[in-house]
Amino acid sequence: MTTLLTIGDAAKASGLSAKMIRHYEQSGLVRKSPRTDSGYRLYNSEQISQLRFIRQARKLGFSLQDIQSLLALWQDPQRESRAVKQLAQQHLTEIEAKISELQHMQQVLTSLAQSCSGDASPNCNILKQLAKPD
């Protein structure tokens, strides 16, 4: 007999909140769970595994669309690993671009912060620089 978990127990088992589980169910990432006569959702071990998979993918910053693709690949025994790697590489490239952008922002803000005296004077180079046209 398969053990079925309520949403609270599924949340504990997967590391997700009940709200997120409902969201993933509503968005179609996880199959809608059957309900008891009193309306409680019940989750099987396959759904718990999917929820854990989703949690891990979200922690790595994958979008819901990418997670949907990854789930489909995970569940397809005929998949080609190159498709999985391509998704991961694409996401890695996006992360590297974001890191580069954040580093540039850090450099500019550091320079701006150093250019402001930060005293009782109303003059502040930060505000002057932000007001400059591009």
**Where do the structural domains in the chain lie, given as residue ranges?**
1-79, 82-134
Q: Tell me what the mean pLDDT of segment 30-37 comes to.
A: 89
Distance CA 79, CA 121 (A): 65
pLDDT at 118 over 80: yes
The predicted pLDDT at position 134 comes to: 78
pLDDT category at 1 given cuts 50, 70, 90 is low
Mean pLDDT check: name the lowest of 21-25, 67-71, 94-98, 115-119.
Answer: 115-119
Q: Residue 13 corresponds to which amino acid?
A: A
CATH code reported for the domain at 1-79: 1.10.1660.10
Task: Specify the DSSP class assigned to residue 16.
Answer: -
pLDDT value of position 5: 95
34 phi and psi angles, rounded to 5 deg: -70, 160
**Alpha-carbon 73 to chain mean position:** 18
pTM here is 0.82
